[in-house]
Amino acid sequence: MAKPKLNFAPAPTFCATVQIIGQGAPAPVPVEFTFRYRTKDQAIAWEADEIPALHAKGGNVAVLQSMATGWDQDPPFDADNLALFDQCYMGAIKQIRDEYKNCLLGARLGN
């Protein structure tokens, strides 16, 4: 059996599922997002510099678009649907952002 090797040229995107909790929903809804890969330095710069600028320009929708390129939901992953999503699922952007950061840090490995 071949020994696994580290990948120093990761794909530009990766998929991860976020459990979205809706108000009054009986259970969280799993939503798969296609996230943008960032290196350590890129993630630090994104967190420190880009997020404040994105919030100033486009709020949570701009932040979500900077993290992800798509989702597995029927409405398209576009600004209008993301704005509606943000209005209907308060706190979901934070959940998505937390999962994104966990994925970048490898916090979910082995769990």
Q: Over the stretch 62-92, which tens digit does the pLDDT of each residue have?
A: 999 999 999 999 999 999 999 999 999 988 9
Q: Taking the model in full, what pTM does it have? A: 0.84
| pLDDT band at residue 106 using 50, 70 and 90 as cut-offs | confident
Statement: residue 110 has pLDDT above 50: no
CB atoms within 10 A of CB 51: 16
Residue located via tokens 């932040």:
63
Query: What number of CA atoms fall less than 13 Å from residue 80's CA on the CB side?
Result: 2
Residue 83 burial (10 A CB sphere; 0-12, 13-18, 19+): middle
C-alpha span between 76 and 95 (Å, rounded):
20
